Structure 1
Amino acid sequence: MTFRLWLPDVSCSRKVLEVPKIVRHLETKFPVNEKYKCRLYDMALTADKEVWMGGSNGEFKLFDLEGNLHGHRTVPVKSEGLYICMHNKHILFSDVADKAVKTFSSNDTVVTMFTTGDWKPYGITSSASGDLLLCLRKDDQSKVVRYSSTGTILQEIQYGSNYQPLYHVAWYIDENVNEDIVVSDYKKNAVIAVNGLGIFRYQYSGKHRDFGVRSITTDSIGHVFVADLKGNKIHMLDRDGRFLRYIIPDGGIEHPRAVCIISVGEMIVGESMTGIAKTIRFQEEQKDAVSPAT
């Protein structure tokens, strides 16, 4: 789903704010999807700290963090949602109906990079190795597939060591800094992680019954952040899937669906139904070192 901003490993020494702060609101103005009542589906951060937003009716919008619009594209979509990521400085998206991964040419024409056979693509992310990781579904099956940028299948992950399916309805996906592949599963209502070889690592199912898993992202030291649409919060986990804390900012968030880390201790959260994206500071800002008196 996201471009990972590689950051210095300093966040572990920073205090997590007891009450995180909303520092900016961004109005995407996506129209509501009348069938699903959603406006915003996914986000992807560029290397220049701008954010592509994927909205209803096949709209893409590129904003800076101050809320200024820098790009707008529309594609025909025949199914719910837009699932997007940055790859080699280009925006990519899963076309569920066409069973394809697509991008835009220099003149904004939609270009098919590769197709996914009989499987429908959903969540998509770019890995540190330069490959693409996709959540694929067919009938009642789900799997994760690693592709080269030309569409060559490099790895398939579908079953655990007991030959039982790892996923029921794979949805959003990200790669952690330790090469774990982290997936949100709609039907299991859980986050499932495997290592780079596809071996099961952990499953996180929330702490309360109102958990509603949506997108996931990670930071440069391996924290996992899970958007909880029903609980109106972000879950913060360590790299082994252990719960650390909730992130609920002063003023709250409504139906969070998309989440990206934009700097150390700062994230942007997209609200599904309002279409508003909120920048949230959840850790103390770095204070400049003070030289001792001489």
Structure 2
Amino acid sequence: MYQSQEPVECDLCREPVTFFCRQCVLSLCDDCVPVHLRVKCKYGHDVVDFASKDAEESNFCESHPERKCSTYCKTCDVPICLQCAAIVHKLHDIFELSDERKLMKEFAGKKARFQSLIDQLEKVLSHTVKQLSALSSFYQKMKHKVTARGEIWHKLIEKMVKKRHKELDVLKMESKAVLQTQKKEIEKMIGKMKEKIVIATNIQETKNIIEMQKIRHIQETLEIIQYTFSSFCECQIDENVLETMFGFIEMPRESKVTLVERNMISDFEPIAKLKVPTISCVIDTGFPTKEKNKSRLYGMAVTNDMKLCVVGSNKELKLFDFIGNLHRTMTVNCDGVYICIHNGQIAFSDTLKNTVKKISENDTVTNMLSTGMWKPYGITATMSGDLLTCLLNVDQSKVVRYSSTGTVLQEIQYDSQCQPLYKIALYIAENVNGDIIVTDYKARVVIAVDRFGIFRYSYSGKNKDFDAYSLATDSVGNVFITDFEGDKVHLLDRDGQFLRYIVPEEGISRPRAVCIIGDELCVGECKTGLVKKIKY
């Protein structure tokens, strides 16, 4: 009897094989192809179907069997040789065919990129399923908030009613006292008039002409004060104003996010680590000390022409080169402490007027967009040319993506369980992998979501005294976070894993602003107003 043939197993995991790498002579299953393609190969991988691993390249022209097909006719939808391309298909739409091995290699990579799309879709699907399961509880919480708002209004109305009742009670007592006094005075006047009638009657009866003459010419004038009651003046209720004051429901927004095929081979390389970070340059920004909190320097950004833009306590923007020379000073006349470079122009938040503004080349300040009832804080430009902004409205915080024309493209506020992601989103940065990273001032934590707004990771420091302020990312996805009270910078990799602290030998004091210039780190000290350029 013949025994059944043993199934060929994957050389990496022992699962049934489906592909074969000719270059590395390895049998591979579906799942191991992307893993194998990540491994660098000097001559490149050559992954083909396992069934055709031993097959010779045999793509010959039907019209000329002795010739290989090197081109493809799109008009006739058929592979052809060069002779056919030059004669029969001369005027057709043709293109060159890839080498079969090269094509198989590219096709295997294409399959891996398809898998990357599936991975992204499955992540979004999982997020959507979780949102569906939490939907009822989320909207029930919203109803509770509306009810609580109504109860506050009821209490205020009851308080106002009681206040008016009290005012009326006081007025009632005052009116009663006045009317009682008036009553006595009028009764007294009536008594006097009755006495005069008696006197007049007596004179009339005695026919005393002299007394009659006296009384006749006396003109009696009486003055009385009439007292009116209070009235309640009802103000007309404008339902539109009432709704605005009470609060309104923000309608859900749709945001379109494009899924892109991703190469499974990572291009990221770890950064080299210096034994001790060193300071290569120190710039004194010259901002005065603010009396309230003794602060001087707030924000920094690097312009397209490699100038350092800093903003500080006196509502000025200054442009320095990296030697420390001051090139320009601009007055913005608003509390714009959060800045970035967007489409080559300086953009900043105006938290008093709830707008994001920009400065043109002739130093003219214009409005970019309005944030409505939300106060804008940290802002950053994205690789796609959009603007990400941290917004705060009383006890709610969110991140909004705006187009360059001010259109809302995306809102990020809740996680998959419909719980708020942020308490007070302060500073923001976009990483090279599309992650949106925010420092939460109140929660003292760093929160990262992917470009769909799905939670990726959080970082709360190595100890409990983490005081996260500003952050920046470099070209390979590392994240740099200033620790204000810790007097250091935390360095994370693109997945939020702690790598190390960055503290130069000379030290840094109360770091707030941070940005990347080439392979160096610029850290702005809030209290001293110094910017230190650090080789790390």
Normalization by structure 1: what TM-score? 0.89
Q: Counterpart in 2 of 1:223?
A: 478
Q: Decide whether aligned partners of structure 1 residues 255 and 47 sit closer, same or farther in structure 2, where only a CA change above 3 A counts.
A: same
Q: Counterpart in 1 of 2:300?
A: 43
Aligned equivalents of 1:131, 1:112: Cα separation in 2: 16
- Tell me, yes or no, if structure 1 residue 148 matches structure 2 residue 406: no
Q: Which amino acid aligns with 1:269?
A: V
- Tell me, yes or no, if structure 1 residue 244 matches structure 2 residue 499: yes
Structure ranking higher in helix proportion:
2
Q: What is the CA-CA distance between 1:107 and the residue it aligns to?
A: 2.8
User: Superposition pairs for residues 148-167 of structure 1, below 5 Å?
Assistant: 148-167=403-422
Aligned equivalents of 1:101, 1:126: Cα separation in 2: 12
Q: Whose Rg is larger?
A: 2
Structure ranking higher in strand proportion:
1
User: Superposition pairs for residues 1-294 of structure 1, below 5 Å?
Assistant: 12=269, 14-77=271-334, 79=335, 82-264=337-519, 266-282=520-536
1:145-181 CA distance string (max 9 Å, x none): 0001111000000000011100000000000000000
Q: Which amino acid aligns with 2:344?
A: K
Q: Which amino acid aligns with 2:286?
A: K
Q: What is the CA-CA distance between 1:10 and the residue it aligns to?
A: 9.5
Q: Which amino acid aligns with 2:295?
A: C
Q: What is the CA-CA distance between 1:138 and the residue it aligns to?
A: 0.2
Q: What is the CA-CA distance between 1:197 and the residue it aligns to?
A: 0.3
1:259-286 CA distance string (max 9 Å, x none): 111012x11100000000000000xxxx
Aligned equivalents of 1:240, 1:19: Cα separation in 2: 24
Aligned equivalents of 1:209, 1:48: Cα separation in 2: 40
Q: What is the CA-CA distance between 1:13 and the residue it aligns to?
A: 5.5
Q: Which amino acid aligns with 1:28?
A: T
Number of paired residues? 271
List runs of 5+ in structure 2 lacking aligned partners.
1-265
Aligned equivalents of 1:105, 1:272: Cα separation in 2: 27
What secondary structure sits across from 1:18 in the alignment? coil
Aligned equivalents of 2:447, 2:376: Cα separation in 1: 18
What secondary structure sits across from 1:17 in the alignment? coil
Aligned equivalents of 2:268, 2:533: Cα separation in 1: 17
Aligned equivalents of 1:224, 1:15: Cα separation in 2: 15
1:188-239 CA distance string (max 9 Å, x none): 1010000000000000000112211100000011000000011000000011
1:101-142 CA distance string (max 9 Å, x none): 101234322111111000000000000000000000000100
Q: Which amino acid aligns with 2:379?
A: I
Aligned equivalents of 2:409, 2:346: Cα separation in 1: 21
List runs of 5+ in structure 1 lacking aligned partners.
1-8, 283-294
Q: What is the aligned-residue identity percentage?
A: 58
Aligned equivalents of 1:31, 1:97: Cα separation in 2: 21
C-alpha RMSD of the superposition: 1.4
Relative contact order, higher structure (CA 8 A, sep 6+) = 1
Q: What is the CA-CA distance between 1:74 and the residue it aligns to?
A: 1.1
Q: What is the CA-CA distance between 1:245 and the residue it aligns to?
A: 0.1
Normalization by structure 2: what TM-score? 0.50
Aligned equivalents of 2:421, 2:439: Cα separation in 1: 11
Q: Which amino acid aligns with 1:105?
A: S
